[in-house]
Amino acid sequence: MGKILALAVGFCIILTGCAYKSQAIYFDPYAPKVYKNSSGHVLQKVYLKSVVDLRQSTEILGTVIGPDKTPKTYAASGEMVSVWLYEAIKSGLQARSIFLIDEPQKDAKTVKIYIKQLHAVYDENLFKGNNLRANMDIKVEIVKDKEKIVKNISQESSTWHKPIRDAQAFKPFLQELMEDIVDRTIKEISDF
C-alpha cells in the first residue's frame, strides 16, 4: 500500500512539473534611449491624450496551439497594456526633451493612440522553423494646429522557441516587440 501511495504522489509531482503554468505577465518598465539635444533645439510640447486598447480580449497576450491547431491554453496580462504603453511613450518623449503637458494647447501636439492588435502564438507542433510568432498593430493620431496625421505602426516578429511550459516564456518576446513599437511611435510623434 505504501509503494502505491508513493507512486501516486510521484506521478502527481511529475504531472504538476510538466503542466503549463499560467502566471500573469507583468512587463518591465520601458527604458528609453538617451538622446543628445542639438544646439538651437526647439521646445516641443505634447499632450498625450489617451491610449485606448481596441482588442476584443484585452487581457489575452498569447496562445499555445495544440496538435489539432486549436488553442490549448492562453497567456494573460497582469496589467493593462494601454497603461504600460502610455507610460512607455511618456518616458520616451521626455528622454527626447519633449515637454509633456496636461491639457491641450494651441502650440502643442495632441496625440491619441489605439492598440489594434497585440498577440503571440506558439505552435507546439512545429519542431523546426519559427514556432513562436507575434504581431502588434497600433494607430497614432497626431494633431497640431489644424493639421492632422494618422499613422499605422505595425510589426511582426517570429523565432524558434523551445517548448513553452508557462506564460512567462512569452514575456521577453512580447516585451521586445512592444519596445520596438514604442521607439517607432516616439519617432513619429517627435518628427511631426
Domain spans in the chain, listed from the N-terminal domain onward:
43-191
Quote the pTM value: 0.84
Residue 132 confidence (pLDDT): 96
For residues 102-111, give the mean pLDDT.
Answer: 94
CATH topology of domain 43-191: Double Stranded RNA Binding Domain (3.30.160)
For residues 51-78, give the mean pLDDT.
Answer: 94
Residue 16 confidence (pLDDT): 38
Residue 28 confidence (pLDDT): 95
Q: Using pLDDT thresholds of 50, 70 and 90, give the confidence band for residue 128.
A: confident
What's the whole-number average pLDDT of the chain? Answer: 87
Q: Flag whether pLDDT at 100 surpasses 60.
A: yes
Report whether 164 contacts 64 (CB < 8 A).
yes
**69-97 residues labelled b (16+ CB within 10 A) or e (exposed):** eeeebbbbbeeebbebbbebbbbbbeebe
Q: What pLDDT digit, counting tens, does each position of 3-24 carry?
A: 543 433 343 333 334 455 678 9
Q: Flag whether pLDDT at 129 surpasses 80.
A: yes
- Beta-strand runs (E) in the chain: 45-53, 60-65, 71-76, 99-100, 109-123, 132-144, 147-159
For residues 176-182, give the mean pLDDT.
Answer: 97
For residues 26-48, give the mean pLDDT.
Answer: 78
For residues 164-188, give the mean pLDDT.
Answer: 95
**pLDDT > 90 fraction of the chain, expressed in percent and rounded:** 72
